[in-house]
Amino acid sequence: MSSVWRNEKELAELLIARANRKRKVTLTPETALFVGLKLMTAAEKPTRDEVAKMLCNSKCLQLCYNCQGTANMIVRVYGHRVDPGYDEVEGGVTHQIGSRPEDGR
């Protein structure tokens, strides 16, 4: 760990605060390894829609409301993969993830 952050939530908050201020972030090799391993783990998780498809007993072509609701509860607790460019709408807030480098900063 580091003297700047004590746990992954603190690190996440520091990164998000820098991003919100349009500031670059430089990571130490130790922190980069930690973040990389966390992202590897996150990349293995299913998306919310993939969880809903796993749950659906009637194998709906369009994800049904009940399966989406259950999938939302599951991914809220266990997390899920978010693919770049995917717009996640949660609680009325849209997060644009994966903006192109020229859009950033």
Contacts with Zn ion by CB under 5 A lie at 56, 60, 64, 67
CB 46 within 8 A of CB 71: no
Would you say 15 or 64 has its CB closer to Zn ion?
A: 64
Shortest distance (Å) from residue 66 CB to Zn ion: 6
Q: Which is nearer to Zn ion, 11 or 52 (CB)?
A: 52
CB of 53 to Zn ion, least distance (A): 8
**Phi–psi pair at 101, nearest 5 degrees:** -55, -40
- C-alpha span between 17 and 93 (Å, rounded): 17
Least Å distance between CB 57 and Zn ion? 7
